[in-house]
Structure 1
Amino acid sequence: MWIWVVAGTNYSLVPSIGGPYDPVRISARTNGEILGGTFKEHFGDYGWFFSSRAGWFHSQTNEHFHDTLGALSGTASATGNGFYVGAGVGYDFNQHLGISLNYDNYQSEAPGIWKGHFGTSIYGGTLEYRF
């Protein structure tokens, strides 16, 4: 499965690089492949269920940084292995149709970029049709 994950943008001051009057703006974008498993447990005779998932996350991260005056800029790229975990609750209307609310967290490794790792939390919903 291919997944696109935006790992974050930090537009706060980085005083050790640009100083308080010329903040450095840093943005990083991560995407990658995941391989893992999913567990789904139904409650009683009702359609309510709980799902969880976890696995390996191989990420490619690209970073761009620049200051507001235009004197400093650059890019960097890195790949690494991390993990993902997630959980959700939902309702199956019948054997073919279900809906759920989910939370997922992706931890990507990016050696040589900023602090070397990024965490991304995603809240979402799923409408699932099964054949």
Structure 2
Amino acid sequence: MKKSLMLACALALSVLSASAFAGDGFVRAEVGQSKVKGSLDGGDSAHDDDTAYSLRGGYWFNSNFAVEGNYSRFYDQTLYNDGVDYAKGKLSSIGLGVVVKEHATPTDLGFFVQLRGGIARGKLSVNSSLGNGSATSTKPYYGIGAGYDFSKTFGVSLNYDHNQGSGDGLRISANTLSLGLEARF
């Protein structure tokens, strides 16, 4: 299936006209705060906050549309430690999506708003004195942002993103507010 998906993407890209490739590659780093919530089907739930970061990269086909790949780390904390027994949890994701951006001016500089969304594969890892384990799930993610492009090659933004995952009766969500710096080349 992966080979079929890669072939379909390659064919779709080859059909695009040469002018569509007049855009820019980009890299983006974001850092902020995630609120991670977990709940069991039985009704028990808990939440915690942690510093989050995201590394994103992709290609702007024009000033309004891009594709992106991303890695995000939402949570990395000790859940329990009494000196003998311990439990540590990590929550991260890797994803692929699209970004749509609209500037307030016709020059494609200055203030903008953007929407992004796609599919992310989330991973919850637990390392404890009783053993280690992890679980993954693939779910949609989405986000919104507002920012300022200082030049054709640099911009900043404030972003809100929602990621989710589930499995074996556990549902997890991460809502992240972050500041992003983007360089285009």
Q: TM-score, normalised by structure 1?
A: 0.68
Structure 1 Cα separation of the partners of residues 75 and 173 of structure 2: 7
Q: What whole-Å deviation, never above 9, does each CA across 1:17-36 have from its counterpart, x for those lacking one? A: xxxxxxxx865322232011
Q: What whole-Å deviation, never above 9, does each CA across 1:61-82 have from its counterpart, x for those lacking one? A: 212467xxxxxx4543212111
| Residue identity matched to 2:173 | G
Match of 2:12 in 1: none
What runs of 5+ residues in structure 1 fail to find an aligned partner?
A: 13-24, 67-72
Q: CA deviation at 1:99?
A: 1.2
Query: SS of 2:92's equivalent?
Result: strand
User: How many percent identity over aligned positions?
Assistant: 28
1:38 to 79, 96, 99: 99
CA contact (8 A) 1:3 1:34 kept: yes
CA contact (8 A) 1:38 1:53 kept: yes
Size of the aligned set, in residue pairs, is 111
The answer as to 2:182 corresponding to 1:128 is yes
CA RMSD of aligned residues (A): 2.6
Query: SS of 2:159's equivalent?
Result: strand
Structure 2 Cα separation of the partners of residues 117 and 108 of structure 1: 6
Structure 2 Cα separation of the partners of residues 128 and 11 of structure 1: 33
CA contact (8 A) 2:156 2:181 kept: yes
2:125 to 62, 71, 77: 62
2:114 to 46, 51, 75: 51
CA contact (8 A) 2:121 2:139 kept: yes
What runs of 5+ residues in structure 2 fail to find an aligned partner?
A: 1-68, 81-85
Structure 1 Cα separation of the partners of residues 78 and 172 of structure 2: 12
Structure 1 Cα separation of the partners of residues 95 and 178 of structure 2: 17
| Residue identity matched to 1:105 | H
Q: TM-score, normalised by structure 2?
A: 0.50
The answer as to 2:173 corresponding to 1:116 is no
